[in-house]
Structure 1
Amino acid sequence: MRITLFRSRMTDEFGQVRAELMASTHVFSSLGGRTVEEAMEAGMDPKRIWLAVCEAFDVPPERR
């Protein structure tokens, strides 16, 4: 998954403002105690990050 697709899915699922806020403030234990932005900066795979977001926020399987 490319970062642009990840960002698009975040916006589609949560709306632009909430997606941006979540990416910069919500800490995910499944990402090693990182926010989305920190995980991206650490070079984590965007698909792994997306799946962590989906699990944490109960995104239905058909939109994962």
Structure 2
Amino acid sequence: MRQTDFWQRLEQVFGATYAESVAADQNITQLDGLTIREALARGVATVTVWRAVCAAYPDRVPAKLR
């Protein structure tokens, strides 16, 4: 998954403003407690980060975006 696709999906799910907050401020258990931004900066594959977002927010991410 390309990063542009990742960010578009994140904004679709959370809205533009809240998506940035989620990416910078929320520590995700499935990413060993890293934030989305930290995980991407450390080279974690975007598809891995996206799957972690889906697992962390199952009620927010619609099935068509999983």
**Bin for the TM-score computed over the shorter chain:** over 0.9
Amino acid of the residue matched to residue 13 of structure 1? V
The alignment status of 1:29 with 2:29, answered yes or no, reads: yes
Aligned length in residues: 64
User: Aligned partners of 1:40 and 1:63: how far apart in 2?
Assistant: 19
Runs of 5+ consecutive residues of structure 1 not aligned to the other structure: none
After superposition, the C-alpha distances for 1:14-39 in whole angstroms (9 at most, x for unaligned) are: 10011000000000111111000000
User: Aligned partners of 1:13 and 1:60: how far apart in 2?
Assistant: 8
- What's 1:62 paired with? 64
User: Aligned partners of 1:33 and 1:54: how far apart in 2?
Assistant: 15
TM-score by length of 2: 0.90
Percentage identity across aligned positions?
38
- What's 2:17 paired with? 17
After superposition, the C-alpha distances for 1:2-58 in whole angstroms (9 at most, x for unaligned) are: 111000000111100110000000001111110000000000000110111111111
Shift of 1:60: 3.2
Q: Tell me, yes or no, if the aligned pair for 2:30 and 2:55 is still in contact at 8 Å.
A: no
